[in-house]
Amino acid sequence: MKRPAVFQQMQKSYQMHTKARRDLMVYSNDALSKSKRAIFALHRNDFTQARECLNQAQALFKSCETSFRSFPELKEEGSYRAGLEEYAEACLFESYLQKGSIGKIDPRAMMSSIYLSGLCDTTGEMVRYGVRQVTLGNYDVVSQIHETVSMIIEFLLDLDLTGYVRTKFDQAKKNLSRLEEMSYDLAIRK
């Protein structure tokens, strides 16, 4: 029996989608890696290297986005979203370290679930940065970080988060607790 012509069309469409998905996963994972490298560079105060890594991540995301014209559902692919979250975290951390504030970032990472997840994770990077600064003798940094993380937690409390972002929020609250302990220890030692 001869196969219907639609079978061949479906096969071609499926293969194109599969290739686009694989490419998206590769680009997204590379962008995630570049974002992680940016965060590590920021911890070393190497803003030039961090910006270079973030620019490379942007280029990788642009490569991903070419497939969205043909397959818009790939925007919801897990690896793409994970890459964007890490990118949002790196951008927010960079903004905090360079400007002392947190605000808008690259529009591709401004979707609320991506931004909020990245914001929650940024609190962990801020704690790590604070620990490093204390070991270097820069004790005042902890109070500034504590103030910012407190503001973030207050903002997130107003949102009544659920699901995945709620889990991220719970981790952010633990980061605030770590900062409170650090602040207490520093106050006792002074």
Residue 39 near residue 89, CB atoms below 8 Å = yes
Residue 35 near residue 83, CB atoms below 8 Å = yes
The CATH number of domain 7-101 is 1.20.1440.230: no
| pLDDT at residue number 67 | 85
Token pair recorded at residue 176:
């605030």
Residue 178 near residue 153, CB atoms below 8 Å = no
| pLDDT at residue number 189 | 83
| pLDDT at residue number 83 | 97
Q: Residue 121: which of 13, 6, 32, 54 has the closest Cα?
A: 32
Distances (CA, A) of 30 to 42, 53, 79, 174, 179: 18, 10, 10, 29, 32
pTM of the model: 0.92
- How far apart CA 183 and CA 142 sit, in angstroms, is 7
| pLDDT at residue number 30 | 97
Q: Which residues of the chain have pLDDT under 50?
A: none
Place of tokens 């005042």: 140
Select the CATH number that applies to the domain covering 111-190 from these four: 2.60.40.10, 1.20.58.200, 1.10.730.10, 3.40.30.10: 1.20.58.200
CATH 1.20.58.2140 maps onto the chain at 7-101
| pLDDT at residue number 146 | 95
* Model confidence pLDDT, tens digit, residues 9-58: 999 989 999 999 999 999 999 999 999 999 999 999 999 999 999 999 99
| pLDDT at residue number 69 | 86
CATH 1.20.58.200 maps onto the chain at 111-190
| pLDDT at residue number 90 | 98
